[in-house]
Chain A
Amino acid sequence: MNVETKLGLDVFKIDSEPHILINQEICRSCEEKFCLYVCPAKLYSINRETGDMEIECSGCLECGTCRIACIHGALDWNYARGGFGIQYRFG
């Protein structure tokens, strides 16, 4: 089972505005780009055309691993707004 299918099982209340913002300038200067590998939901990817780092916030499990792994501080990280984001039914 791939991670997209797993996320499809979860209940998300999707917000139109992203709760994690990426500073592309800092991100471009980062050699390691740990966010690409540490996110358990695999939400980070590099846009092939623009070269920008992108995050698909609508599948975010709000664990905070990326916040800890982004050692250069490129993330303006917050939880989803109240009443939005992942709503665990089992937890």
Chain B
Amino acid sequence: MSDAAEEKVEVVVVGAGLAGLSAAYVLAQAGVDTVVVERGDYPGAKNVTGGRIYMHPLRHYLPELWDDAPLERHVTRETLTMLAEGSSTAITLDSDRFREEPYHSYTILRSTFDRWLGDKVAGAGAFILPKCRVDDVLVEDGKVVGIVMAGEDEIRADVVVAADGVLSLIAEKAGLRQAQQAKHYAVSAKEVIELPAKSIEQRFNLGPGEGAAQLYFGALTKGMLGGGFLYTNKESISLGLVVGIESLMEREPKLEVHEILEEFKARPEIRNLIADGETVEYSAHVIPEGGINAMPRLYADGIVVIGEAAGLGLNMLLTVRGMEFAVASGVMAAEAIKTARERGDYSATSLAGYEELLRDSFVVKDLQTFRHVLGTMENPRLFNFYPQAVCDIFSELLWIDEKPKSKISSTVIREGLGKFLNWPTVRDALGMLRI
């Protein structure tokens, strides 16, 4: 390799996603010589969300940054729908709290959002190198001292920040993680469906700029761990589903996510919402579901791991989290690197400050609190029996024909006791106490 191809910077960040860009922003603002290497044509070219981002953690960690962010709609209505065969029951929360500024959460599209954040980071003084895939870490005397890009070009650095996403080949190459296990990951497939803003606001009963967030679970995934989601953007709908990879592997007969997505779109709960819409993009993404049990080592000599590369994603059953973990972990890694820089010591001992910050924050605390969610969701009854049982009871209560009706209380007691008073349900209920 030629000398011309060799560079030395203080920090090289692998991946221009929310984690990497947040870290780079904080570092660049502190005057740290930082390069972000991104394999896509621009930050966001390879990045996918469901999605919705919770703003309060972002405002806490990077207070000044978000005022002109390209956000879509602020979510004012949350719906959880249980899908049965041929029926569904939904619970909706519409709250004035969601209409108070600063808003609680926004729907977003990552290609626009990350590109905007990339510009902020470049403005702060970091250098963003697009169209470059990082293939390996440079290791000398057991310490990470830089990266190797395709074409054998190297960048030497005091610290490498692995922000290369859920598969994190960089963390793997640096010996910080084992191969991923299917039981700890889910695959998501999403369509972006364009509709005029007016249609979206009418169909979802939204004011201008207001948005809806909807989660679906039940018959959709045919007993497999997973569910559907719908988020309204300014002039499109993000519609998709998530299915556990191990569930997909084990299920007989086999089902494929793109087929389930089509079945989802055809359900009456969805088809009228997206009618006359035009699908403009199809995307897929792997989601970390293993929580605290599937995290890699977060640091070693000359390297830290952040965002989804660090397994920082969390299914909390009623909410799904990830992007705010990415931003928070990026900021905390940057703070730890700044401290290490003051010491002039980038050893593992010095970078351990990152993990300490993370452990004291909502990130690791939430992962810890919700560590049993995945185990609880591995129960097929959650997806086939319960949604059907709930829908059957409501259906019985609301159906009128020529026959005399029972009292509401008798119907509820008869149907409810019949369905729910048995050992498997009691056992499931006890299991739910863990989450």
B267-293, CB < 8 A from A: 279-286
**B281 & A40 in contact (Cβ 8 Å cutoff):** no
The reply to whether the CB of B71 lies closer than 8 angstroms to some CB of chain A is no
Per the bound structure, the CA–CA distance linking A13 and B181 in Å amounts to: 30
- Chain A residues 4-42 with CB under 8 Å of chain B are 6-7, 9-10, 13, 32, 34, 37-42
Given A37-B256, A91-B110, the answer on whether A63 and B280 have CB atoms closer than 8 Å is: no
Given A6-B191, A9-B281, A64-B167, decide whether A88 and B111 contact each other with a Cβ distance below 8 A: yes
Contact of B282 among A10, A13, A83 (CB under 8 A): A10
B109 in the interface, Cβ–Cβ < 8 Å? Answer: yes
**A contact residues around B46 at 8 Å (CB):** 62, 79, 85-88
Given contacts A6-B282, A40-B187, A79-B133, contact A90 B192 (CB under 8 A): yes
CB neighbours of A81 from chain B (8 A):
39, 133, 150
Q: Are A6 and B167 within 8 A (Cβ)?
A: no
A68 and B182 contact, Cβ closer than 8 Å, known pairs A81-B150, A82-B132, A88-B281: yes
How far is the CB of A22 from the nearest CB of chain B, in Å? 17
Chain A contacts for B44, CB-based, 8 A:
88, 91
A80 in the interface (beta carbon within 8 A) = yes
Q: Are B286 and A64 in contact (CB under 8 A)?
A: yes
Query: Which B residues lie within 8 Å of A61 (CB)?
Result: 282-285
- B46 CB, min distance to chain A CBs, angstroms: 6
Q: Verify A9–B282 contact, CB threshold 8 A.
A: yes
- Segment 236-250 of B: residues with Cβ below 8 Å from A: 236, 245, 248-249
Cβ-defined contact, A89 with B189, below 8 A: no
Q: Report whether A90 and B281 are in contact in the complex, using a CB–CB cutoff of 8 Å.
A: yes
The interface size of chain B toward A, counting residues with CB under 8 Å, comes to: 50
B-chain residues with CB within 8 Å of residue A6 when the two chains form the complex: 191, 258, 279, 282
Q: Which of A65, A67, A78 meets B284, CB within 8 Å?
A: A65
Contact assessment for A91 and B114 in the assembled complex, using a CB-CB cutoff below 8 Å: yes
Q: Chain B 90-121 against A: per-residue CB contact (8 Å), 1 yes, 0 no?
A: 00000000000000000001111010000000
- Whether B257 sits at the interface, judged by CB under 8 Å, is yes
A82 and B48 within 8 A (CB): no
Chain B residues with Cβ below 8 Å from A83 are 39, 41, 130-132
Whether a CB of chain A sits under 8 angstroms from the CB of B353 is no
Docked CA distance A7–B189 (Å) = 12
Closest to A83 in B: B131
Please, what's the 1-or-0 string for B216-255, where 1 marks a CB less than 8 Å from any CB in chain A? 0000000000000000000010000000010011000011
Q: Among A32, A34, A42, A64, point to the contact of B258 (Cβ < 8 A).
A: A42
- Known A-B contacts: A67-B167, A91-B283. Give 19 more (CB < 8 A): A1-B279, A3-B258, A6-B279, A9-B279, A37-B255, A40-B256, A40-B284, A63-B284, A63-B286, A65-B245, A68-B181, A68-B182, A78-B135, A79-B39, A79-B169, A83-B39, A90-B111, A90-B236, A91-B111
Which residues from chain A sit less than 8 Å from chain B, CB to CB?
1-3, 6-7, 9-10, 13, 32, 34, 37-42, 61-65, 67-69, 71, 78-83, 85-91
B residues adjacent to A (C-beta < 8 A):
39-41, 44-49, 109-112, 114, 130-133, 135, 149-150, 166-167, 169, 180-182, 185, 187, 189, 191-192, 236, 245, 248-249, 254-258, 262, 279-286
The 24 listed contacts between A and B (C-beta, < 8 Å) are A1-B279, A6-B282, A34-B248, A37-B249, A37-B254, A38-B256, A38-B257, A40-B258, A63-B286, A65-B286, A68-B185, A78-B133, A78-B135, A79-B133, A81-B39, A82-B131, A83-B132, A86-B45, A87-B45, A88-B47, A90-B109, A90-B281, A91-B44, A91-B111
In the A-B complex, the 7 residue pairs with the smallest Cβ-Cβ separation, listed nearest first, are A83-B131, A91-B110, A6-B282, A91-B111, A40-B284, A63-B284, A61-B284
